[in-house]
Amino acid sequence: AQTVTQSQPEMSVQEAETVTLSCTYDTSESNYYLFWYKQPPSRQMILVIRQEAYKQQNATENRFSVNFQKAAKSFSLKISDSQLGDTAMYFCACGTASKLTFGTGTRLQVTL
Amino acid sequence: ETGVTQSPTHLIKTRGQQVTLRCSSQSGHNTVSWYQQALGQGPQFIFQYYREEENGRGNFPPRFSGLQFPNYSSELNVNALELDDSALYLCASSLGGASYEQYFGPGTRLTVT
């Protein structure tokens, strides 16, 4: 069984600033993957970043990076140089090859 | 390259009826997953199909069923609709299982009255 917890329902950040979204998870699987997906208003869900749990190195994708703490089962997302286009719902997810479990999401608002 | 498409966009059904939702996967993708997203919630995994076989299922009753066709498109069928089935239904395709990047469709908004 897998559970994913996002404890920040809403966050706000000013343009060009840095923000960190929190996520904790629990899984009984030894081989699993972690994801952050972004769902802009009225638009399709897209992948932001992916982390293989067996890799110790934190994944990065341009302005997006994660802090993966395997022992603590924590997987936070850092967005640097926030842009207005980053405004969206952000979902953390934990998955195996045959199942993906999402958290309840964090609504991020980027302001001028 | 064509992305993931879903039909219909919106649907209104009455409690007790049956519904079929359709999904065309991205070209070359052999895996399709279906999710139910209630308002204000994260997507809930319904099931996954890999090469026409069910390859994983979430905590949904048997009245939720699916199919995957040889061209890897997929259907989600829901029988005996209940009010709580009202949600956005998302389809996602990938080159492998759920551990790979999934490409999501725009969803079908189902309202059960």
Low-confidence ranges of chain B (pLDDT < 70): 1, 98
Q: Do A45 and B90 touch (CB under 8 A)?
A: yes
Residue-wise burial string across B27-51, b where 16 or more C-beta atoms lie within 10 A, e elsewhere: eebbbbbbbbbeeeebbbbbbbbbe
Contact criterion met (CB below 8 Å) for B56 and B47: yes
pLDDT of residue A98: 82
pLDDT(A96) > 90:
no
pLDDT of residue B28: 86
Contact criterion met (CB below 8 Å) for B23 and B104: no
The pLDDT tens digits of the residues spanning B8-26 come to 999 999 999 999 999 999 8
Contact criterion met (CB below 8 Å) for A93 and A35: yes
pLDDT(A85) > 60:
yes
Q: Comparing C-alpha atoms, which of A20, A29, A23 is closest to residue A73?
A: A23
Q: What percent of chain A has pLDDT over 90?
A: 85
* Tokens (6 digits) for A110: 């980027």
pLDDT of residue A86: 97
Section A89-97 average pLDDT: 93
Q: Do A102 and B101 touch (CB under 8 A)?
A: no
Count CB neighbours of B83 within 10 A: 9
First to last CA, chain A: 41
Cβ-based neighbours of B62, under 8 Å, separated by 6 or more: none
The single-letter DSSP state of residue A59 is P
From the number of C-beta atoms within 10 Å of its C-beta (0-12, 13-18, 19+), residue A62 rates as exposed
pLDDT of residue B1: 57
* Tokens (6 digits) for A23: 């996520």
A20 min Cα distance to partner chain B (Å): 19
Contact criterion met (CB below 8 Å) for A96 and A33: yes
Contacts with A102 from chain B: Cβ below 8 Å: 35, 42-45
Q: Do A100 and B105 touch (CB under 8 A)?
A: no
pLDDT of residue B99: 72
pLDDT of residue A68: 97
The pLDDT tens digits of the residues spanning A18-71 come to 999 999 999 998 889 999 999 998 778 999 999 999 998 999 999 999 999 999
pLDDT of residue B7: 97
Q: What percent of chain A has pLDDT over 70?
A: 100
A42 min Cα distance to partner chain B (Å): 8
User: Residues of A near B (CB-CB distance < 8 A)?
Assistant: 4, 6, 32-33, 43-47, 50, 91, 93, 95-105
